[in-house]
Amino acid sequence: MPCANSQGVNAMLKGIGASSGIGMGKVLLIKEHDLSYVPKAAEDVQSELARYQSAVEGFCSATLEKAERLKKTAGEKEAEILQGHVLMLQDPYMREEIEKRIESGQCAESALESVCDMFISIFSSADDDLTNQRATDVKDIKNGILRILLGREEADISAAPPGTVLVTAELTPSMTAGICKENIAGIITQTGSKTSHSAILARALEIPAVLSLEHAVDVLHNGDMVILDGDSGEVLQAPDPAQLADYTARQKAYLTEKKALKAFIGKQTATKDGCIVQLAANIGTPLDAQAAVDNDSEGIGLFRTEFLFMDQTALPTEEEQFEAYKKVALMMKGKPVVIRTLDIGGDKEIPYLGLQKEENPFLGFRAVRFCLKRTDIYKSQLRALLRASAYGDIRIMVPLVTRVEELRQVKALLAQLKEELTDQSVPFNSAIQLGVMMETPASAVIADLLAKEADFFSIGTNDLTQYTMCADRGNANVAYLYSHYDPAVLRMIRRIVTCAKDAGILAGMCGEAAADPLLIPLLISFGLEEYSVSPTSVLATRKAIAAWSKEEADMLAQKVMSLPTQQEVLRCLTEHARR
């Protein structure tokens, strides 16, 4: 429990920084209305079905109205989050399951809740944020329809006064639609992650946000003066005058920095002495591609395709995948689009595939291992990718490679599919590039061998770090080991880039380290040619790269690479940091 009390004693609380900026204002506590009810049998099944259908229609109508409002305040892709709720509710399986329960005698409330809770349980049991977010969406849908069935009012935040810091257990997309962003200084929630819809919407609205602040609705109270830092995740309760002055200065500096980044829009990404590199964006859905365009990305360095498989209750068809990949290719207008093939298992589960539970899923049947066993699924994806390559510079990337044989098997499948498409007169790019996501120690060790077979490398530092250090990135007990500043990880990265350069292929990076300003001089020195970061980090990364010349980076790298410990590396990089 955070150190604070109901008298508003000065205290520093800690959550997850999810939307950059400093927010200062008074707390407005938003608590959901009571949605409890007494379950009862449906006296008239047809009347109960009609009551449920009426509630669904009311929910869909209200949700689409909210989506229109959100489109104006946050943007079209954010509005599609709410539109997705309507689509999810229209899913045949969900609809049929609810109707079957009503027909068996349950009241509409019970039928809705039992089916929604089933989906929430499935999605919540997964270990990744993307799937967990589906649980939040279903909960939002459930509560919205329950409110209509029970005749309860929805929390209204549209009248919040200027300088308001919203505090709630969970900021739902439906709630966000009522925000007047000019009046909201910050958002604090008890749940959520950097990839949750709460975070996505807060960033789109440019409102500082701290999520996953434990017991937020109990610790913070209406009228409390608070300061939140959307980068560090810190929340200061009842700040004193000196702290107010300090954070006011930080806020001013942040806004100045944000304005300065706009000077890098439209500029080539290059070092101070003119070494040009490519700066791309990581995305998870076709909607995210618009954010990449808006932030002046020079391409897509990582398109995670799992969303197509996680967002529904059955395998996506080849046509559905083709349309998604084609959409991104067209949006990027000829710029490179690196699409990672299906990476499930480990921290990403897809319930309907019925994969067996494994004691250590991160080292188990996942990613390329799954795809090469389930070639029926893999061929469908590869065909869709080949077909979409006729509409832009699509490149295919294979995750979790540990052996040359795996890459060769993928190449063989591609060759077979190319022959089939040619026979069918289906257009595709016959010279489509096939690369490797370098994220295992094995791939780093045999990088020289893989470089002879691959068209490009992209380093996934998140997994490379945890595998190299044998430290689960989600385990707090070994978090001290999970660092890309560790000499072992840095040597892995340097070897991969060196082997790519020796073979004459491109070496990129799509892990979080690519946007780390402390690490950028090392990456410049190693010879990294492509940096792929979150869309919102593109301009800051361009600025960080422009702050160094190759010669300066080489001098720092020579010093850093001789240091024996993570602490010494971090200290040295921090001492030489540039703003």
**Would the CA dihedral through 547, 549, 555, 561 be positive or negative?**
positive
Quote the longest CA-to-CA distance of the chain. Answer: 81
User: 293: helix, coil or strand?
Assistant: helix
- CB-based contacts of 252, cutoff 8 Å, min separation 6: none
Cα–Cα distance between 569 and 490 in angstroms, integer?
Answer: 10
Question: Is 197 in the active site?
Answer: yes
- CB-based contacts of 274, cutoff 8 Å, min separation 6: none
Helix 76-89 crosses helix 92-103 at what angle (to 10 degrees)? 40
Specify the pairing of strand 434-438 against strand 456-459. parallel
What tokens appear for 214 in the block?
A: 């434990």
**Would the CA dihedral through 344, 348, 354, 356 be positive or negative?**
positive
Cα–Cα distance between 426 and 2 in angstroms, integer?
Answer: 60
Range 315-319, long-range pairs (CB < 8 A, 24+ positions): 315/352, 315/353, 315/377, 315/380, 317/380, 318/380, 318/381, 318/383, 318/384, 319/384
Which backbone phi and psi does 186 adopt, to 5 degrees?
A: -175, 165
**How far separated are the first and last CA of the chain, in Å rounded?**
36
Cα–Cα distance between 430 and 414 in angstroms, integer?
Answer: 10
- For residue 278, CA distances in Å to 2, 106, 230, 532 come to 43, 58, 28, 8
Environment class of 367 (CB within 10 Å of its CB; exposed 0-12, middle 13-18, buried 19+):
buried
Question: Is 85 in the active site?
Answer: no
Cα–Cα distance between 238 and 341 in angstroms, integer?
Answer: 49
From the candidates 60, 371, 499, 510, give the one annotated as an active-site residue.
Answer: 510
- CB-based contacts of 447, cutoff 8 Å, min separation 6: 438, 457, 495, 496, 499, 500
Cα–Cα distance between 514 and 118 in angstroms, integer?
Answer: 39
- CB-based contacts of 92, cutoff 8 Å, min separation 6: none
From the candidates 60, 85, 197, 499, give the one annotated as an active-site residue.
Answer: 197
Nearest to 37 by CA among 122, 197, 148, 195: 148
What tokens appear for 142 in the block?
A: 């459930």
Quickly count: other Cβ atoms within 10 Å of residue 249's Cβ. 11
Environment class of 7 (CB within 10 Å of its CB; exposed 0-12, middle 13-18, buried 19+):
exposed
- Residues labelled as active-site residues: 197, 510
